[in-house]
Amino acid sequence: MSDLEFQNLSLLQAELSKKVILPNENEEMYVPKQGNIVLTLDIQYVEEKAFVAGDWQFIGGNHIFTKVAICDVIFPYYPAFFCFREGPPLLEFLEKSYTAQIPKPDVILVDGHGQAHPRKFGVASWLGVHSHLPCVGCAKDSLVWYEKDKLYIEKDSVLGISLGLDLIGYAFRSQTNVKPIFVSNAHKISLIQSVELVKGLVGEYRIPEPLRRADFACREASKNNPKNGWDWL
């Protein structure tokens, strides 16, 4: 990436970040409710093709279904600007689901970051701005330094991740004595409600169940393996 490309992408990311809508300290926007639909999205690449998996589940209830689609990749991979590569295929998948007359989700959970990003604009924020839906990021690794030794080993322990004076996410211990996952709000939802949403989707493993299903589906699809619990969109 040239210095000019870096500068232009940084400016674009800064402009898009101004469109992010987040509640203030004393305000609630979207609050997850029993029976709402959460759509969880993950993606796998094979050359310039993106295999996107979406997992639909009722909050506090049953898994509905998992579907996969092949979407276009139009942007190269640049570290810290992943939202511009991964966001458009995720949005394309969402629009395909609308065309297929699948009910619109109440909230989207993305395998990636929202505010917990060096420029406070991860792929979950990109998708929230472009879909106009509440979005949450849930990632396997942190892009921002945090005090690892201060996170307790017990399940459901949380530790704030800050950028300057701003709290931008939480390291969340989904199982006792396992590596945490990293939760951040991305658009139209508070950080506390984002953590509550993820907590409610955790099963017996480190990664929340909808993310595990979506991850499995897109990986299997990218290998051209026969479907197992998912279907094409």
Residue 9 contacts by C-beta under 8 Å, 6 or more apart in sequence?
1, 78, 81, 84
Q: What's the pLDDT tens digit per position in 169-181?
A: 999 999 999 999 9
In one letter, which amino acid is 226?
P
Q: What's the pLDDT tens digit per position in 186-199?
A: 999 999 999 999 99
pLDDT score, position 26:
66
Mean predicted confidence (pLDDT) in 112-118: 94
User: How far is residue 218 from each of residues 35, 41, 122, 143, 151, measured CA to CA in Å?
Assistant: 26, 10, 21, 23, 32
Looking at the structure, give the CATH architecture of the domain made up of residues 35-145+181-232: 2-Layer Sandwich (3.30)
Q: What's the pLDDT tens digit per position in 218-228?
A: 999 999 888 88
Q: What's the pLDDT tens digit per position in 131-148?
A: 999 999 999 999 999 999
CA–CA gap between residue 69 and residue 220 (Å, rounded): 12
Q: What's the pLDDT tens digit per position in 21-37?
A: 998 766 778 999 999 99
Q: What's the pLDDT tens digit per position in 42-52?
A: 999 998 899 99
Residue 101 contacts by C-beta under 8 Å, 6 or more apart in sequence?
none
pLDDT score, position 25:
63
Question: pTM (2 decimals)?
Answer: 0.94
CA–CA gap between residue 201 and residue 130 (Å, rounded): 25
